[in-house]
Chains A and B, each alone.
Chain A
Amino acid sequence: MESVLESVKEQKMNKLNAKLGRRRAFSFFMVGLTILSMILALTPLFSILGYVLVKGIPALNVAFFTELPAPPGEAGGGMANGIVGTFTLIGLASLIGVPVGLMAGVFLSEYGRNRFGKLVSFLTDIMLGVPSIVVGIVVYALVVLWMGGFSAYAGGVALAFIMIPAVTRTTEEMLKLVPNHIREAGLALGIPKWRVIMLIILPTALRGIITGIMLAVARVSGETAPLLFTAFGNMYWNQSLNEPIASMPVLVFNYAISPYAEWQAQAWAGALTLILIVLVLNVSARLVTRKR
């Protein structure tokens, strides 16, 4: 009797153990799949970085940084005007985008704890999702038609439209991290609120805000679509900001879809330069925050 019970018990245990084994194996398999998915996502990253390095480095030389683009099919030439143009456009965009984004962020953090603030905060999120090509059309209608032609100004405004919500969002988040007792201490000393904000709270959050601005700059430095019909592009040096201006992303685009091997090689070099700019901005933004 006893031994029968024992054997039934043993059978049950064996069954359970076998089932547990299967469950464990399945669990192991699924965890393996998560590792596989990470590898699948990182493969294109390494492929892109690898190709950009392998194909970009041979085309990088002094001429690339100092000379104007060569005519189609001719060897030599560079992207000097595009490099200068990209930095000009980033400068113009920052000139508009940073102050507006910063102040909108100050508004959201310091005065925005009401319904109106919530609405603005929501719309900022929505603006972050607007396709950049749409920004291009809007700035075309607003600036290009109004000024009578493609210009560096129009390109700068288009990039500023993309920068503003990004700067606003990070500024707001960084200011909200500043502890309230710092605000209270400042106000208790009898300092007016606006001076507390400008002289105490903004400097406290400065590192984080600078990070946000650098990331926003990194994002717009590679933007192409909104520049196609605002800054347009230019094969020569710019004489004024009131005329079309070259930029690296647009040059890379035009070179990449051209049939000339020389131009395609230069497109890779341009891509390498762009990635380096973005990488330097990203890594230094990280270093700035890490020191805190």
Chain B
Amino acid sequence: MKKRYGDQLFKAIAYIFGCSIIAMLGLMVWEMFRGSSFALDKYGLGFLFSSSWDPVTEEFGAWPFIYGTIVSSLLALVIATPISIGIAIFLVEVAPKWFRDVVGFLIELLAAIPSIVYGLWGIFVLGPIIREYVAPVFINTLGKFIPFFAGPSFGVGIFTAGVILAIMIIPTIASISREVIMVVPDAQREAALALGATKWEMIRTAVLTYSRSGILGAMIIGLGRAIGETMSVTMVIGNRPEVPDSIFDPAYTMASVIANEFNEASSDIYLSTLIEIGFLLFAVTLLVNIFARFLVWTTSRGIQEAK
């Protein structure tokens, strides 16, 4: 049998392109590390918890941005999770088939809208609605006891950013939850119904307990999206580099400070600081995604083995 040089060459080319994915990720890690090393050396770990942000005196701390990112993303997760699980249940267990396709398409459309359009809508539509109608409700009730919900509201701020992020991550959480709910075997549902469960009891006992860790994975993937989302947040969060006292105050996130100040960074240390914030953002989203993939993967594998 003659040797197939063509095959070997093709295989080598395929392997090179496979390696290119690893190379790209490696290159990203390396470039981020190299770019931030100046700031890493100068400020060390204290950088993470310092709240000063003064480009003139070159005093930099990342805490306002870390805080803003955490609060806005968690807020998004709190709003988006119940709605997303509701949609997933509706699509799999409640809706008739033709309707399922229509709603599925619309939810996908929500994911396809560019984030810049969300930002534009956030500035001119959502922000004013929150300032006029939503924020006063919170400020006049909860705000009287808890300073975190006290006013005033400008329409731009950490709350508006959280709502926009929630809308943006609903398609992600809903579609992954839908997939994990769909792989629940029908025998489970039939068993619950045969024991006399109502529809909701069947969903809670047979479906949700079965897909719990998959839904958790979906939430964490959604959280990763929210942490890294840049443009829409930059446009509505108010961009003030201080730790906010109230949920309606303007704030800043890690992604939005990079988007706003990268081109204005006048000194090497300023630029390096921004790259370090980017590096941190990169590391956090990597960890979050790895953890989430692991969760979703174990769920779907567990179900396949049970079959």
Contacts and interface: CB of A to CB of B under 8 A. Distances in A.
The size class of the interface chain A forms with chain B is: 35 or more
Given A138-B32, A274-B114, A133 B258 contact: yes
Contacts of A38: 86-87, 90, 103
Interface in B240-287: 255, 258-259, 262-263, 274-275, 278, 281-282, 285-286
Interface stretch (A6-14, A39-47, A72-80, A205-213): A39-47
Given A111-B18, A222-B117, A131 B235 contact: no
A222 to B, nearest CB: 2
B201 A23 contact: yes
B240 to A, nearest CB: 15
A41 B174 contact: yes
B121 A47 contact: yes
The size class of the interface chain B forms with chain A is: 35 or more
Contacts of B6: 192, 194-195
A93 interface: no
A134 interface: yes
Given A45-B106, A134-B32, A141-B35, A223 B114 contact: yes
B106 A132 contact: no
A270 B261 CA distance: 24
Residue with the greatest number of chain B CB neighbours at <10 A, chosen from A31, A137, A271:
A137
Contacts of A219: 112
Contact of A192 (B7, B20, B116, B225): B7
Residue with the greatest number of chain B CB neighbours at <10 A, chosen from A23, A103, A133, A224:
A133
A60 interface: no
Contact of B107 (A41, A116, A126): A41
Interface in A1-49: 23-24, 26-27, 29-31, 33-38, 40-42, 44-45, 47-48
Interface in B1-47: 4, 6-7, 9-11, 13-15, 17-22, 24-25, 27-28, 31-32, 34-35
Given A30-B200, A194-B9, A104 B21 contact: yes
Given A104-B17, A253-B116, A253-B235, A133 B109 contact: no
9 contacts: A26-B198, A37-B82, A41-B87, A44-B110, A132-B228, A138-B27, A141-B31, A192-B6, A224-B230
